[in-house]
Amino acid sequence: MFEVRVESNFSSAHRLRGYKGKCEELHGHNWKVEAFIQSENLDKIGMVVDFHHLKNLLKSVLNKLDHKFLNDVDYFKKVNPTSENIAKYIYDQLRSKDKKLGLTKVTVWESDTSYASYIE
């Protein structure tokens, strides 16, 4: 099995609903996002996926979140904008943009020491 990973980032603000603590207040993060693709086979030239294609897809998803107040983004009006839910949102968006991608995991880092992943 082969695995490739691309990394990108975005900056946004959020406030967590129903959380007792500092994260209930408005604050921001520079989020780091990783997308993982697995494949048993390589294409004719020996790749799992073209990194440029994958990076462009990820960037197009993150552009919708960058410099936004996440609680105002439609999806997060009902779904709490936690790192976990942001990871699932990005996973689902990537999946819907390219169903043949072989996407296996999306990881969202909200700080240098804390991340959440969504794996289907």
Instruction: Mark whether 110 is an active-site residue.
Output: yes
Nearer to Zn ion, 4 or 13 (CB): 13
9-38: which residues touch Zn ion (CB under 5 A)? 23
How many residues form the binding site for Zn ion (CB under 5 A)? 1
Least Å distance, CB 28 to Zn ion, is: 8
Q: How far is CA 64 from CA 8, 53, 69, 93, 97, in A?
A: 13, 18, 11, 11, 14
Nearer to Zn ion, 20 or 100 (CB): 20
Q: For residues 47 and 43, what is the distance between their CA atoms, to the nearest angstrom?
A: 5
Q: Supply the residues annotated as catalytic.
A: 23, 67, 110
